[in-house]
Structure 1
Amino acid sequence: MKRRIPALLLALLVTQLGALVNPAYACGCGAMVPDGQSRLGVDRETSVVRWDGHSEQIVMRFTVRGDAQRAAWIMPVPGRATVELGDGDMFGALRDLTRPERKARYYFWPRDRDWPFSADRDDLVGDAPLRPGDAAVGVVGREQLGDFDVARLTATDPNALKAWLETNGFTLPDRLAAEVQPYVDQRWEYVAVRLAPHHQGTVLRGELDPLKIRFDSDRLVYPMRLSRMAKTPQSLGLYVLADHRMEPASTIGGSAPKVTFAGSVHPKDGPIAELAGGKPVFLTAIDQEFPEPGRIDADHELRATAEDTPYRRAVYHNELLTVGPGIPVWLLTVTAALVALAGACFALVRRRSRSRRRLRLRLREDGAA
């Protein structure tokens, strides 16, 4: 089942109302884990990252399907994090900003649905750290944000982290303790999230409310190492707002990242302007595929490119080449060619006719002599 996971999503857990349960990895992908025997698939995960050289903000939203009423996940972060609900309008605004440019691609000869074959037109689409204290697990804070129960944690022992989560309604796979060890060694912190709608019986489906996470960081890092636990191919979609065009320092085991948009933007108002602090920023949109998640060997670290080269995709619609009030150029060309051919033929006939008349006159004169 296809799922998109950001680097921030690193291990996902399971909860059940008021009691511990064994996680059912129904989606088979290691991303978002539902409760009990429910099924939950992430059709798309979209993340927006704002980095100003000192702090990082991430706004993420999941589009899910299935029959699960509850699910959970945990995300390592390199510093003390704050969490709040994000603005869902941001994603629509970003879609508008990065929308492919529409261009016309002209062709000369008529096609199947062009006159005289048909009056219809056929448009085709082309390419165009805060250090933890003495306790093995510290609770920095816990908030209820809409349908999210959010716990912000520190940990010096991955097994202690697993035990705390289980005691508080999360169930973790045994393998996660080993995968979290590198983050414990680096003294990262954790954001654990449980998703449970307020209305009992409501299924997690469609677009969930976005979450906004902020932490201090002197480098733009996008945690992805725990996504190696996934069972099926992964796909990452990322909007990056920074001072310059950004790119991943390496592929970290995935395919080559693809830039789908790059350019300076200066939104005057709205959620993007708020995230950018009211300043002009460079927006880079990146897509990357991970056909074999087990090969993911690091977190993404993004760096500025040598040049802030703008880029925008193009979507082409094919049009028949016309002039004036929609007159096909091919028709004018063919008509002109036929007129010229007719004129040449007429001139040739006249020339031959004159030649014959001169010949007859000459013969008459010779006979009279």
Structure 2
Amino acid sequence: MHLTGLELRRVRMPLVAPFRTSFGTEECREILLVRAVSDDTEGWAECVALGDPKYSSEYVDGAQDVLTRFLIPALAEHRNLDATTVGRVLDRFAGHRMAKAALETAVLDAELRLRDQSLSSALGAERESVACGVSVGIMDSVAELLDSVADHLEAGYLRIKLKIQPGWDVEPVRAVRERFGDALLLQVDANTAYHRSDVRHLAELDRYGLLLIEQPLAEEDLLGHAHLVRTLTTPICLDESITSARSAADAIALKACDVINIKPGRVGGYLEARRVHDVCVAHGIPVWCGGMLETGIGRAANVALAALPGFVLPGDTSASNRYYRNDITAPFVLQDGHLKVPTGPGIGVEPLKDALADVTTATFWNPL
């Protein structure tokens, strides 16, 4: 496939409500979209980097910079490109997995559209719909939290994930369990907010029958997580620690996790995400698909990935209206706790022209 150029597009989308985690509060998403243009088609992708380097070392302005100065020019050296070639070309640059993922995915979308093949089919998906959970941020009060959980359950979500941090953990979990009962699929996410010295406190969560505790310790602390796996009865899930299939294999070998959350942007793209999935399946480790407050462009690709057989737990693949009043694609709508997997060519969705124009703040064309 001969690419003629790549467009970087900045969009700004307010959230329906502030979303608070242990590393900060998001009220509006500054998003970088990538459009790959060839002689015959185009492909879209979303860079999931946030506005500042708190969740990850990557951030939107940095992603735009490395794409413009290094990654896109590297592709100009190659006359014909597919997603696999893009991955090999970009491999010589250290890090910047979210930026690489966006570039690779845009090319993959264009490539699959030319072949009239869906992303879900190309990845090896086996489901027509995926079970959906929802992530509930840190609230100002337990009463506010309970109201929010009730609203999400009424909307049909099959699993609730509570964001936690020191000072906001045991009490909200206890309150949710008491209000909604033991049958509720419930898990928590710490986003690296705890330390090894907190093991006794984290063990208090064992009494509440959680599906898992996600990333309690720093991303580099595999030995600390291995200690938690041996000490707690609640399964330990790794998120930020998993940046590739190799890191997943290492974590499994060290017995540092019971479950893995796969975020395609964090591991460098959907082709690597499939490799992470395959490693986990081979070792009997269940996986689920995480989210980064994506628009419909990123959400479509995530839903396709989550339809692979190893994704046995509900993911953070929530409906569009969980975060945005108006999405930039046709909205993803929850149906009996599930989202349908797009079956059209590529990621299966396209931006709505007027909706995209309304939120676009800048565009940058990079000819090849």
TM over 0.5: no
Q: TM-score, normalised by structure 1?
A: 0.24
Structure with the greater alpha carbon radius of gyration: 1
* Bigger proportion of residues as helix: 2
Q: TM-score, normalised by structure 2?
A: 0.24
